[in-house]
Structure 1
Amino acid sequence: MLTPLNCQPSPQLSTMPNSQSQLASRHVAVIGAGAGGIVVARELSREGHRVVVFERNSQIGGTWVYSPEIESDPLGVNPDRTRIHSSLYKSLRTNLPRELMGVRDYPFVPREGEDRDPRRFPGHREVLKYLEDFANEFGICELVRFRTEVVFVGLELGKWRIRFRCENGAVDEETFDAVVVCVGNFSLPRVAEIPGIDEWPGEQMHSHNYRSPEPFRGKVVVVIGYSSSGTDISQELIGVAKEIHIAWKSAKTELLDTQSSINSVSLHPMIESVHKDGRVVFQDGCIVSVDVILHCTGYKYDYPFLETNGIVTVNENRVGPLYKHVFPPALAPGLSFVGLPFKAVPLPLFELQGNWVAGVLSNRIALPSKEEMLADVRAFYAALEASGKPKHLTHELGDSLPAYMNWLAATCGRPAYEEWRKEMYIATNINRLANLESFRDVWHDNELSRQAYEEFSKFTTNESSQNNSHMNV
């Protein structure tokens, strides 16, 4: 019987004897030096592979590099718009506690320094600092070609040819044994389809271009979507916007906390139509004159540089076919993707996926046959369809996160996903739903946090982790 992620043990996939004579060293390209790219680069390097990381920007960090600038098209749909990679808003803090966020042997503990943020749910600058610390600790920056944009990746005569544009504008190319795509998935906006929107006179923006609440002062705002960015931004708009109307497919009024519900915030099902006189009609029959529609509707997976002759496609945000969200069966192990799953804990996920890719490329871990992998993918898609899960949520983990992480860990010969991690993830989500305004600063899982820091003590002697300063706000 299939689990939701088809993560049952696979007898065809085994760990080979760890004999140096059997291990291979590959020339591997990693595309992107965000959190996924630098973690994968470390895993590949540890496995003995020769690694080159391509990064179009001038520093590591990817989406965690904040920019106050926004694109020329605030909605993010004009193909000729200026492009801004960052999707961070100025006040963003993590929605997961730092205990969950770090890689296992380099925990995300508080560090001393005037520019450090010791809070349990730190701001985005602290996450970038952690990524920089990680890169420095493991020598990752030495592997990165900065200001180098990949413009083509394709398989030619058994090798992966990468064409890239250098900082001076010159285009060059190089061949590799394998390519790992780690470009991140938070820069190309998805927007809601709204009947009548072409004639609607108001403003539209995607959360990708939201930086602060001030431009919305005194305005009537519709926020479409109520996941991570939708909840954060809605909270920020309280007391700034004149009215806030949240349109959400799963609208449940009990998920609004008490303060929100008495501060000109209304929750609705999705928009039915909009009109040229400025009115917005919701599916519950409510009609509102609106100034701004803010799309907090997520992002598209996009790989314009990748040419696979139709073997790998992106269809309604399903990247596939991919075995366990990583390997396209027909092109494995030479091509892989790390970081596609969402509603997950990113860095530990990158670490295990990266270790799997590294082990497969070195011949330490054997993949099933292409036919077996493709059959597994088809069974997974069939299970999603039978459960009623839409295609655009193919890569959503959520409740299946522990099963997927444990499958990866077992496959890689790594320790299982710790119970405290699972319980802390669940406790954080429950606390977040119950206390949207305060969940980052008030919590009740101190025993789980104690267990986390007991484990971290194996890897760090950081004074702040020893004196339990992580419990302070």
Structure 2
Amino acid sequence: MVKRVAVVGAGCSGLPTIKCCLDEGLEPTCFERTDDIGGLWRFKEEPEEGRASIYNSVISNTSKEMTCYSDFPFPEDYPNYMHNSKLLQYFRLYAEKFSLLKCIKFKTTVVSIRKCPDFSSTGQWEVISECNGQQEKAIFDAVLICTGHHSTENLPLHSFPGIENFKGQYLHSRQYKSPHPFKNKRIIVIGIGNTAVDLVVELSSVAKQVFLSTRRGAWIVNRVWYNGFPLDTVQSTRFHSFIQGIIPSLTNKYFEIKANARVNHDNYGLRPEHRFLSQQPTVSDDLPNRIIAGKVLLKTNVKNFTETDVIFEDGTVERDIDVVVFATGYVFSFPFLEESVLKVKSNEVSLYKMIFPPDLEKPTLACVGYIQPSGAIMPIAEIQARWATRVYFKSDRHTLQVSYVGYMDEIATEIGCKPDVKQVMLTDPKLGWELLFGPCTPYQYRLFGPGKWKEARQTILTQMGRIIKPTRTRVLSYHQTATNFFPLSFKLIGIIIILVALYVLL
């Protein structure tokens, strides 16, 4: 009998989850509370309740070859870093290619998900949904929750004494859409994540003065990295992951030197207490330029507010502040689930391998995309869904941050689709070299095992061309194609490692 699966959410995690269900012969029904797909990446002029909200200018912080689903590359003429409208267009192409829309119930909110009375033997769930004021109950053999963790703003006003007396405007970054309403204002942005930095850069083009208040600082990196390649195609490789695992201190030092070569983090007041790899760096192409031009001024954490002024922990005061933007992140919850099934505490949730609630009698509920990787979320959500749907198909029965390559390999091992790089080096050296030194793109997890994609090898071998194509709009009569990601010293180390590995194997 075909098993029925409820999928909650039709965003960047929900869409591949629907496809994975179909791939495994399951019958998915996706509940989407809004009228369209895309989740976080669908821009709307007004924030929608229960849905992540972005500003008009948002572009991705991860590049297209690292961000795509593993058997559906982005069109080759797409830019490496994409505007939100391009990503939404990609989701539409993906949904059309794999006939996903027929599985989605739009404008339908999940009200509750409860264990059936015979759950211990069946693992089934009772799902109550609501559409146009009418509720409907249905029984499902499994549930996959894909609603994301960027829907409810974290606005910790209790941490900012005097904010209740402040006569200016204050808002959470979720409400921000464009800089135009803030022309000629004196503005403070609180936070130093990607959103905070995006906003101070954008606001500084129209505001009288922008201040960036940070408690801890951050490492700032550019989207464009070594030799002009996208940052994540250089960082997220198996070779880097290997080196990081055996000599983390040296790897930290390398990335910190690279970051400081662009902008000295001490001189700019940006240096955090943590090492580079301990937390995600903040991606910004323009922040140092705005700081050096005086358009953005770094400040310490806010101590308290008065009616018009802001006092900082270092004793400095900024007067006549018009606007305060809290870029203080998000909190997430599962209001449709009982706490006995899944409990969120301090914005953390206990999940086995970041997917399954550990205490369920049957592994028939999973969370997809509740993770903060050092890389793109979409391929990680996809590989989580690939594993979860296989567990459903075959079975009768921390903080969110993870390392991209390590976690992808961990879940791929569970599925049986992790590539054996040493074996590939022996049988297909050209591909093996790309697996080890090239970007660890999602296609690598379609080479072998369940869900094998016949075009994976060729897609990997041609990924460099797709990375270069959108930037080479002016073709020179003389050029030397840069096809290597690493300095010579890195290559020599890699060659030694390969020779040792081959020696051991033989």
Q: TM-score normalised by the shorter chain: which range applies?
A: 0.7 to 0.9
Q: What is residue 122 of structure 1 aligned with on the other side?
A: 82
Matched-pair contact (CA < 8 Å) for 2:65–2:467? no
1:98-137 map, 5 Å: 98-110=64-76, 118-137=78-97
Distance 1:160 1:300 in 2: 26
Q: What is residue 127 of structure 2 aligned with on the other side?
A: 162
Residue 424 of structure 1 and its aligned partner are, at CA, apart by: 9.0
Residues 335 and 35 of structure 1: CA distance in aligned 2, closer, same or farther (over 3 Å): same
Distance 1:424 1:50 in 2: 29
TM-score calculated relative to the size of structure 1: 0.73
Distance 1:144 1:408 in 2: 27
Measured against aligned partners, the alpha-carbon deviations of 1:266-320 in whole angstroms (never above 9, x if no partner) come to 1122111112x32111112221122111011111112211224x3421111012x
Q: What is residue 231 of structure 1 aligned with on the other side?
A: 197
175-184 vs 343-352, greater mean Cα deviation: 343-352
Residue 263 of structure 1 and its aligned partner are, at CA, apart by: 2.7
SS in 2 for 1:128: helix
Gaps of 5+ in 2: 218-264, 271-286, 422-434, 443-454, 474-506
SS in 1 for 2:459: coil
Residues 241 and 405 of structure 1: CA distance in aligned 2, closer, same or farther (over 3 Å): same
Distance 1:56 1:300 in 2: 19
Matched-pair contact (CA < 8 Å) for 1:338–1:354? yes
Q: 2:384 aligns with which of 331, 353, 367?
A: 353
Residues 201 and 209 of structure 1: CA distance in aligned 2, closer, same or farther (over 3 Å): same
TM-score calculated relative to the size of structure 2: 0.68
Distance 1:459 1:138 in 2: 21
Distance 2:95 2:342 in 1: 31
Residue 423 of structure 1 and its aligned partner are, at CA, apart by: 7.4
Matched-pair contact (CA < 8 Å) for 1:238–1:263? no
Distance 1:284 1:264 in 2: 21
Gaps of 5+ in 1: 1-23, 72-82, 112-117, 368-380, 382-393, 426-453
Distance 1:467 1:63 in 2: 25
Alignment partner of 1:58 is 2:35: yes
Distance 1:160 1:84 in 2: 23
Q: What is residue 62 of structure 2 aligned with on the other side?
A: 96
Q: What is residue 14 of structure 2 aligned with on the other side?
A: 37
Q: What is residue 359 of structure 2 aligned with on the other side?
A: 330
Matched-pair contact (CA < 8 Å) for 2:204–2:290? no
Distance 1:201 1:66 in 2: 30
AA in 2 matched with 1:267: L
Residue 254 of structure 1 and its aligned partner are, at CA, apart by: 5.5
Q: What is residue 221 of structure 2 aligned with on the other side?
A: none
AA in 1 matched with 2:112: F
Distance 2:466 2:116 in 1: 53
Q: 1:247 aligns with which of 213, 229, 233?
A: 213
Distance 2:198 2:406 in 1: 28
Q: Please give the root-mean-square deviation of Cα atoms over the aligned residues, in Å.
A: 2.8
Q: What is residue 447 of structure 1 aligned with on the other side?
A: none
Q: How many residues align?
A: 372
Distance 2:56 2:457 in 1: 30
Residue 264 of structure 1 and its aligned partner are, at CA, apart by: 2.9
Q: 1:183 aligns with which of 147, 164, 167?
A: 147
Measured against aligned partners, the alpha-carbon deviations of 1:83-124 in whole angstroms (never above 9, x if no partner) come to 37341111111111111110111112335xxxxxx3221210
Matched-pair contact (CA < 8 Å) for 2:290–2:296? no
Distance 2:63 2:460 in 1: 18
Residues 423 and 355 of structure 1: CA distance in aligned 2, closer, same or farther (over 3 Å): closer
User: Which is higher, the Rg of structure 1 or of structure 2?
Assistant: 2
Residues 421 and 185 of structure 1: CA distance in aligned 2, closer, same or farther (over 3 Å): farther
AA in 2 matched with 1:328: P
Matched-pair contact (CA < 8 Å) for 1:207–1:296? yes
Residues 84 and 110 of structure 1: CA distance in aligned 2, closer, same or farther (over 3 Å): farther
Distance 1:420 1:457 in 2: 16
Q: What is residue 294 of structure 1 aligned with on the other side?
A: 325
Distance 1:187 1:107 in 2: 28
1:54-453 map, 5 Å: 54-70=31-47, 83=49, 85-110=51-76, 118-157=78-117, 158=119, 159-166=124-131, 168-192=132-156, 193-251=159-217, 253=268, 255=270, 256-275=287-306, 277-289=307-319, 290-308=321-339, 310-319=340-349, 321-331=350-360, 332-343=362-373, 344-363=375-394, 381=398, 394-397=399-402, 400-416=403-419, 418-419=435-436
Matched-pair contact (CA < 8 Å) for 2:310–2:318? yes
Residue 261 of structure 1 and its aligned partner are, at CA, apart by: 2.6
Residues 186 and 203 of structure 1: CA distance in aligned 2, closer, same or farther (over 3 Å): same
AA in 2 matched with 1:271: V
Measured against aligned partners, the alpha-carbon deviations of 1:392-423 in whole angstroms (never above 9, x if no partner) come to xx1122xx222111101111111349545757
Q: What is residue 389 of structure 1 aligned with on the other side?
A: none
Distance 2:461 2:114 in 1: 42
SS in 1 for 2:355: coil
Matched-pair contact (CA < 8 Å) for 2:66–2:439? no
